Amino acid sequence: MGQYDFVTLDVFTSQPFGGNPLAVFPDGRGLSGETMQAVATEFNLSETVFMLPPPEGSEAIATVRIFTPVAELPFAGHPNVGAAYVVASQVGIFGREAGDGFIFDEKAGPVECFVDRSGGKLQTSITAPRPLSVGDEIDVETVADCASLDSGSVATKAHRPAYVSVGLPFVTAELASLDELARARPDAAAFARGVERYRPTDSFFSLHLYVRDPSDPSSIRTRMFAPLSNIPEDPATGSAAAALAALLATLDGPDREQRYEIVQGVEMGRRSDIVATVSGGRVRVGGPCVPMQTGVLTL
Distance CA 291, CA 34 (A): 27
**Which of the residues 47, 106, 180, 233 is marked catalytic?**
47
Q: Give the domain ranges of the chain.
A: 3-128+287-298, 133-280
What is the distance, to the nearest Å, from the Cα of residue 147 to the centroid of all Cα atoms in its chain? 19
Tell me the CB-side half-sphere exposure of residue 298, using CA atoms within 13 A: 0
The tens-digit pLDDT sequence of the chain (299 residues) is 699 999 999 999 999 999 999 999 999 999 999 999 999 999 999 999 999 999 999 999 999 999 999 999 999 999 999 999 999 999 899 999 999 999 999 999 999 999 999 988 999 999 999 999 999 999 999 999 999 999 999 999 999 999 999 999 999 999 999 999 999 999 999 999 999 998 876 667 899 999 999 999 999 999 999 999 889 999 999 999 999 999 999 999 877 899 999 999 999 999 999 999 999 889 999 999 999 999 999 99
Q: Write down the pTM of the prediction.
A: 0.94
CA-nearest of 21, 20, 56, 52 to 36 is 52
Residue 47 falls in the annotated catalytic set:
yes
Identify the three-state secondary structure at position 223: strand
Distance CA 114, CA 102 (A): 7
Same fold flag, 3-128+287-298 and 133-280: yes
Quick one: angle between helices 238-252 and 77-89, nearest 10?
110
- The CATH code of the domain at 133-280 is 3.10.310.10
CATH class of the 3-128+287-298 domain in this structure: alpha beta
Counting other chains too, the contacts that 52-56 makes at CB distance below 8 Å and 24 or more residues apart are: 52/27, 52/28, 53/29, 53/94, 54/94, 54/105, 55/105
- Nearest-5° Cα angle at 158, 249 to 180: 110
